[in-house]
Amino acid sequence: MCLAVPGKIVRIDGDMADVDFGGVTRKANVSMVDASVGEWAVVHAGFAIQIMDEEDAQETIRLWNEVLDSDKVTYC
């Protein structure tokens, strides 16, 4: 299973960006979106696939944390 996770763009250099995922920074290709530093991007498999506003990003992160913290998560 693959997940798309929102992160905050902290630096852009050409088609590559540094994206902060709650204190962990990873590189992501931003060539498929119109991205700017400070925006939130949904990243899947190393590519930013959508820009979203901060309110939606924070709500998505909250929901992910709720699921991960619950006892409903099962692993194969």
User: pLDDT by residue (tens digit) across 16-64?
Assistant: 999 999 999 999 999 999 999 999 999 999 999 999 999 999 999 998 8
Counted domains in the chain? 1
**How far apart are the C-alpha atoms of 48 and 9, rounded to whole Å?**
10
How many CB atoms are located within 10 Å of the residue 55 CB? 9
Q: What predicted TM-score, i.e. pTM, was given to this entire model? A: 0.84
* Closest to 19 measured CA to CA, from 33, 29, 32: 29
Residue 57: CATH number of its domain: 2.30.30.140
Check residue 2 and give its pLDDT.
66
Let me know if residue 42 belongs to a domain.
yes
Which pair of structure tokens corresponds to residue 28? 């992501």
Does residue 75 sit within a domain? Answer: no
Domain carrying residue 31: 5-69
Say if 74 falls within a structural domain: no
Please state whether 46 falls in left (phi above 0), alpha (psi between -120 and 50) or beta.
left
pLDDT at 68: 82
